[in-house]
Amino acid sequence: MNFESQGQLPFVGLINVLKLPGMSSHSVISRIRNIYNIKRVGHTGTLDPYAGGILLVALGPATRLCDYLDAVNKTYRAEITIGYHSISADAEKAAIKVGDVKNITDEDIFAASREFLGTITQTPPIFSALSIDGKRAYEFARDGKEVKIKTRQVDIEEFNILNITRENDRIKVMADITCSKGTYIRSIASDFGEKLGVGGMLSFLLRTKTAGFELKDAITCDELFEIKREGNGEEFKYIMSPDVGLTHIEEIVLGQEHDNYRGGTNIKTEKADGLYRVYIEEDFLGLGTVTDGILCPKVNLTGQNIPFKTKIES
């Protein structure tokens, strides 16, 4: 059944999808549309085609929450190859030998990693989906045109080196990196090699955590498709209430006497100014903002089909 074409209320929720290397983020969205027969599907935090890991997919009106779901720090398992570089800063383009790594010590590598902690300035790769004058940066790069990409500040919460492997003319460093929205791990890899004076590139990337979701709980599109083929509706078990990914936002719980909030009525509150998850008892209603003691709907999901009673613990 197509929930939208049948005129029924669209269901709302999130799916923790494991995007496999070789797939684009857009192709994941296309497959989810087909599996659940729903048009309105979005995702948070694009992953490059060669990368794998969590792609958090939003269904129906939950797509209106994507910006808020994407605002949290994310964790990646990354392999940085030292001694080589590529124009894309990853394995998508040909690797070019840059420097001799024989004098690079483990302590040099650990010291370099510590320099990335905190707020840093980085330049996104030219081969990226950044919009510049109405075009994607990679379009300029493919045409061989020079374009200036603005630097940005990002926050690196953790840079934990797990393993260092020496392979002839290169060193491979495996690390877990937790960083803010908008961080390019490819740029970290390239800058890491520059700090060591021998070049660097990203040779493997896996997103392992985002918005409270973990890799161990993710499911692939192929698995969802096979579950759907069985015809017992089990694929719907993997849709979670959208508030599960919003624990970084404080909550307001209203009583049934404030049921008129569902229709857009503002509510008096003693909460401080700010953004909140809003519930009536255990029903998640969306996001609201408090200004001068008045709670107003910001993203109102009332009237939608949220088949969950899962008020989460902050």
Nearest to 286 by CA among 313, 260, 265, 304: 304
Q: In this predicted structure, what is the pLDDT of residue 133?
A: 58
For residues 180-200, average pLDDT: 95
Determine the Cα–Cα distance for residues 91 and 202; give it in Å rounded to an integer. Answer: 7
Contact 57, 41 (CB under 8 A): yes
The rounded percent of the chain whose pLDDT value lies above 70 is 87
Those residues whose C-beta lies under 8 Å from the C-beta of residue 279, and which sit 6 or more positions away, are 251, 252, 253, 254, 285, 311
Cα-atom radius of gyration of the chain, to the nearest Å?
Answer: 22
Q: Residue 98: give its domain's CATH number.
A: 3.30.2350.10
Are 206 and 91 found together in one domain? Answer: yes
Q: CA 294: distance to chain centroid?
A: 32
Boundary (domain end) residue, out of 221, 243, 265:
243
Contact 153, 121 (CB under 8 A): yes
Determine the Cα–Cα distance for residues 261 and 97; give it in Å rounded to an integer. Answer: 62
Are 33 and 130 found together in one domain? Answer: no
Q: How many domains does the chain have?
A: 3
Residue with tokens 């659940």: 36
Are 218 and 188 found together in one domain? Answer: no
Q: Residue 265: give its domain's CATH number.
A: 2.30.130.60
**221-229 helix and 25-36 helix, angle to the nearest 10 degrees:** 10
Identify the domain containing residue 266 by its residue range: 249-300
For 155, the 3-state DSSP assignment is strand
pLDDT confidence band for 12 (50 / 70 / 90) = confident
pLDDT digits (tens, 9 = 90+) for 245-286: 999 999 999 999 999 998 899 999 999 999 999 999 988 999
The rounded percent of the chain whose pLDDT value lies above 90 is 73
Upper half-sphere CA count for residue 281 (Cβ side, 13 Å) = 6
Give the H/E segment covering residue 73.
none
Are 51 and 93 found together in one domain? Answer: no
Determine the Cα–Cα distance for residues 43 and 37; give it in Å rounded to an integer. Answer: 16
Confirm whether 48 is a catalytic residue.
yes
Inside any domain, residue 305? no
Q: In this predicted structure, what is the pLDDT of residue 4?
A: 39
Are 149 and 172 found together in one domain? Answer: yes
pLDDT digits (tens, 9 = 90+) for 77-95: 999 999 999 888 888 777 8
For residues 47-71, average pLDDT: 94
Quick check: 210 pLDDT over 60? yes
Catalytic residue (one of 48, 70, 191, 243): 48
Out of 7-11, 38-42, 134-138, 142-146, which region has the weakest mean confidence (pLDDT)?
A: 7-11
Are 67 and 136 found together in one domain? Answer: no
Are 143 and 180 found together in one domain? Answer: yes
Contact 288, 279 (CB under 8 A): no
pLDDT confidence band for 304 (50 / 70 / 90) = low
Q: What is the pTM of this model?
A: 0.88
Are 79 and 206 found together in one domain? Answer: yes
Q: In this predicted structure, what is the pLDDT of residue 6?
A: 34
Inside any domain, residue 6? no
